[in-house]
Amino acid sequence: MAIWNSRFKKSLAESALKFSSSIDLDGRLYNEDIDGSIAHIKMLSKAKVISKDDEKKIVHALEEIRKEISEGKLKLTWDKEDIHTAIEERLTEKIGETGKRLHTARSRNDQIALDEKLYLRKEIDKLIKLISSFQKVLLKKAEEHKLTIVPGYTHLQRAQPILFAHHLLAYIEMLQRDKERFCDLLKRVNKSPLGAAAFAGTSIQIDRNFTAKILKMDSIIENSIDAVSDRDTLIEFIAACSIVMMHLSRLSEELILWSSQEFSFVVFDDEYATGSSLMPQKKNPDFAELIRSKTGRVYGSLIGLLTVMKALPLAYNRDMQEDKFHLFNAIDTTKDCLKIITELFIHTSFNKNRFEEELKGDLSLATDLVDYLVKKDVPFRKAHHIVGKIVEKCVENNIKLHQLELKDYKKFSRKFENDIYNLFDPLISISNKKSAGSTSPIEVEKQIKKWKNIL
């Protein structure tokens, strides 16, 4: 008999029970469910709602049930409806009538809200650690490539030469914001809904703050309606996962481009690449492509849960059972992608000398010519126009900037002197950057030291 059907003459039809059963999803929350039940029963004992003897029996039996589930001795089958029912039924089997006291002064509504918050707290900690591990790998690669010169891009067109380390450090910054989002979210996750009961509270004298303290939560959610009807923290969590995935997808896209023959900058280890069933020469960046694709899964979870919640009147509605599908999908996908991209980067090599010669005199150094004229008191907009005409001439004659003679430069501006030819070395261009956080070796070294201290 279901724990809720006291007023019903018939049990649920098998098809209806199968359709509504959530244990295939919420079974993952058995540890959190038991932790919440133990805190609740200790509070009931403290409040003298149940006896100390009953508290000991129930807590002992719950710990046994935890072990039974973890060892696979207690099967979480669909006929149990949900994890709360499965645990409570097993508790009653083990200790009889005493087990029926467990659900005093609570509902499955506040119970599942608590389980999800306890679960989120653990998963946030795991995600922060995974992000930190990936940041450390990126930092190690940045150290290895402190003087590796690559073209930087805007609009996927060559813009200016930069240090590859500087490019990698940008992703470390992004990932740090991801961690900060999760840390900030913890402030809202770490509030207990337990004791809100179905939605209106309870007439039994309970101590909600006591259960929150046992569960190491910062406080309670004050409004009992909000406590059971809110899924903001889940939505916020999946949104944070979506941003992580967006960052991983952008990096994956770059790895895919860099591994192409046209770029010839990245080489994946054979253990992290695949071939073609038809073309024997192929070495495909499948794992970066899969990360790029799986980003859509997490975006889908965010939109999915927002859609579940968008039209629900207060308080709890059964629609909210679907939240776990989206939550677990986002958690699993984000964690899997963080793990594999970390491994992928460890086993990826970058061609240090790929662009060094190619960028000498490249048109991507044109901005250095503009700055040269500005330093000689030419107004910026005029300098920009002069250099634009120089670029136009180079394009027409299929030559690089350093291949244009000084007499030709002087036709555009008398301010040009022989020292302009020093500008056409990409490393000099990079080193000349003076602003804080720029791509210059001095600034990149500062950033690397900063991240070493942080990580």
- The pLDDT score that the predictor gives to residue 5 is 65
**How would you label 94-124 residue by residue, b for 16+ Cβ within 10 Å and e otherwise?**
bbeebbebbbebbbbbbbbbbbbbbbbbebb
pLDDT digits (tens, 9 = 90+) for 339-390: 999 999 999 999 999 998 999 999 999 999 999 999 999 999 999 999 999 9
Given a contact cutoff of 8 angstroms between Cβ atoms, the answer to whether 340 and 334 are in contact is no
Residue 440 annotated as catalytic: no
Second CATH level (architecture) for the domain 363-454? Orthogonal Bundle (1.10)
Return all residues near 99 (Cβ < 8 A) that are at least 6 apart: 58, 61, 88, 91, 92, 93
CATH for 109-145+164-350 (1.10.260.40, 2.40.160.40, 3.30.870.10, 1.20.200.10): 1.20.200.10
Q: What is the pLDDT of residue 3?
A: 64
Q: Which of 20, 70, 219, 276 is catalytic?
A: 276
Find the length of the chain: 455
Q: Does domain 15-104 have CATH number 3.30.460.80?
A: no
155 is catalytic: yes
Please say if the pLDDT value at position 71 is more than 90: yes
Cα(121)–Cα(256) distance, integer angstroms: 34
- Which residue of the set 155, 203, 277, 435 is catalytic? 155
- pLDDT tier for residue 78 given thresholds of 50, 70 and 90: confident
Q: Percent of the chain scored above 70 by pLDDT?
A: 98
Domain ranges of the chain: 15-104, 109-145+164-350, 363-454
Task: Please check the confidence at residue 413 and state whether its pLDDT lies above 80.
Answer: yes
pLDDT digit string, tens, across residues 145-192: 999 999 999 999 999 999 999 999 999 999 999 999 999 999 999 999
Spatial distance between the Cα atoms of 394 and 122, rounded to a whole number of angstroms: 59
Q: Which residue in this structure is represented by tokens 């499965």?
A: 86
Write down the pLDDT at residue 11: 75
The per-residue pLDDT for range 194-233, each reduced to its tens digit, is 999 999 999 999 999 999 999 999 999 999 999 999 999 9
Asked if pLDDT for residue 7 goes beyond 70, the answer is: no
Tell me which DSSP letter residue 51 carries.
-
The helix/strand/coil state of 162 is strand
The whole-angstrom separation of Cα 236 and Cα 279 is 44
List, for residues 260-307, the tens digit of each pLDDT value.
999 999 999 999 999 988 998 889 999 999 999 999 999 999 999 999
Q: Mean pLDDT in the chain? A: 95
Where do the H-state alpha helices sit in 190-322? 208-214, 224-229, 232-258, 286-309
